[in-house]
Amino acid sequence: MLRVLDHTPPETPFPPLEEALDEPNGLLAVGGDLSPARLLNAYRHGIFPWFSQGQPILWWSPAPRMVLYPKHLRISRSLRKFLNRGEVSVTLDHDFGAVIRACAAPRAGDPGTWITPPMQAAYQHLHTLGHAHSAEVWHQGALVGGLYGVAIGGIFFGESMFSRRSNASKAALVSLCRFLSGHGFAMIDCQLHTHHLQSLGAVEIPRARFAEALERYCPAGTLPPGRWRDGTDAP
């Protein structure tokens, strides 16, 4: 049976990852809240919230886990040419709210979103506290792509990305990986497999190996909570 987290303190331990269901893959617990303390508690143990409007909060830890090692990012020839043309610029933590709203916007063929207003508010709070971060891609002053996630120690837990221009979200990921590599981050958690992420160098690893990485790298890290500054100004 799924553990119910309602009426429990946010620091309450989550169930062991081994108790996650096989079907649906990774479902581990239900209920609770989206307070900063519970969210950080979840991420430190390889768990994230994912639920639709009208559902209770669902907590997941799928297996295998899709991860990207920043130094192993694969940049195609066409993407490199796009970046070298200098048509876009990338900033970090310049407009987190705009990025998460864009990620939450309906997409072609999928009118729904799991990034509900309560989720947006929760991650905006994490950003204010210095734990959630964004990368923004700009073209002629307009926001055309980006991504956001949560940083704990030496791991960046990616949540979502969007693109309004070809290669824009990839440009955000390239800049993020360069920043993370320069500050000693070991891994980006991509959560679930997609062919898009696989084409960029992400790989699947067993849950046990991912748990070992959490124990090793979450206590590490060179950046304290706070706004990330990459030396760029607003476009």
CATH number at 167 reads: 3.40.630.70
Confidence label for 235 from pLDDT (cuts 50, 70 and 90): very low
Note the pLDDT of residue 110. Answer: 62
Do 60 and 26 contact (CB within 8 A), yes or no? yes
Do 171 and 145 contact (CB within 8 A), yes or no? yes
Kindly report, residue by residue over 92-151, the tens digit of the pLDDT. 999 999 999 999 998 766 656 789 999 999 999 999 999 999 999 999 999 999 999 999
Do 46 and 65 contact (CB within 8 A), yes or no? yes
Confidence label for 233 from pLDDT (cuts 50, 70 and 90): very low
Note the pLDDT of residue 222. Answer: 80
Average pLDDT along the chain = 94
Question: Within this chain, do residues 70 and 165 fall inside the same structural domain, yes or no?
Answer: yes
Note the pLDDT of residue 213. Answer: 97
Question: Within this chain, do residues 10 and 70 fall inside the same structural domain, yes or no?
Answer: no
Residue 173, pLDDT > 60, answer: yes
Note the pLDDT of residue 234. Answer: 44
**The pair of three-digit structure tokens given for residue 111, joined into one six-digit string:** 């009118």
Residue 5, pLDDT > 90, answer: yes
The CA distance from 18 to 21, in Å, is 8
Residue 70, pLDDT > 50, answer: yes
Rounded to an integer, the average pLDDT of 68-73 is 96
Closest CA to 46 of 73, 22, 18, 21: 18
- Find the helix or strand (DSSP H, E) in which 96 lies: helix 96-104
Structural domain of 132: 66-217
Burial call 109-140: b when 16+ CB within 10 Å, e when fewer:
eeeebebbeebbebbbebbeeebbbbbbbbbe
Calculate ∠ Cα 58-60-64, nearest 5°: 160
Question: Within this chain, do residues 58 and 74 fall inside the same structural domain, yes or no?
Answer: no
Please check whether residue 143 lies inside any domain of the structure. yes
Please check whether residue 200 lies inside any domain of the structure. yes
Do 39 and 122 contact (CB within 8 A), yes or no? yes
Please check whether residue 225 lies inside any domain of the structure. no
Strand partners, 136: 91, 146
